[in-house]
């Protein structure tokens, strides 16, 4: 019963220590193009009449909404559930959607509600 042979390693994986792939070249270039063109500010101004100033839970940002539909278009996904699943499954798509490591991918019902507006 020799217990002094070694020390148990940490059991917690820190987010910053998890290896990341370089990303998806297409979505990285598209992201740069959208940022350089001021896409988010443009669609926020365009969609402003359809959003309440303050009411209930925070809305899905228009830039994220349109980016999710771009993913669906470019990857041939025609259902909102499929788009949500695909975006939640990929770190590079989470980066494209401008989500932090702690934010969740918007649920398909958010996409449906926003589309209904």
Number of H helices, E strands in the chain: 6, 0
**Cα–Cα distance measured from residue 51 to residue 43, given in angstroms and rounded to the nearest whole number:** 12
Q: What percent of the chain has pLDDT over 90?
A: 33
Domain that residue 48 falls in: 30-116
Confidence of residue 31 (pLDDT cuts 50, 70, 90): very high
CA atoms within 13 A on the CB side of 100: 2
Task: Record the pTM.
Answer: 0.74
* Total number of domains in the chain: 1
Asked, for residue 94, whether it belongs to a domain, the answer is yes
Asked, for residue 83, whether it belongs to a domain, the answer is yes
Predicted local confidence at residue 105, as pLDDT: 85
């Amino acid at each position: 019963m020799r217990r002094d042979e070694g020390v148990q390693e940490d059991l917690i994986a820190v987010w910053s220590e998890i290896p990341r792939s370089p990303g998806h070249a297409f979505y990285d270039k598209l992201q740069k193009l959208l940022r350089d063109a001021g896409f988010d500010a443009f669609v926020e101004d365009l969609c402003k009449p359809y959003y309440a100033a303050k009411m209930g839970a925070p809305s899905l940002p228009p830039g994220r909404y349109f980016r999710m539909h771009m993913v669906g278009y470019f990857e041939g996904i025609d259902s909102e559930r499929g788009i949500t699943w695909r975006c939640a499954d990929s770190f590079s798509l989470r980066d494209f959607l401008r989500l932090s490591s702690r934010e969740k991918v918007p649920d398909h019902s958010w996409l449906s509600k926003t589309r209904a507006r």
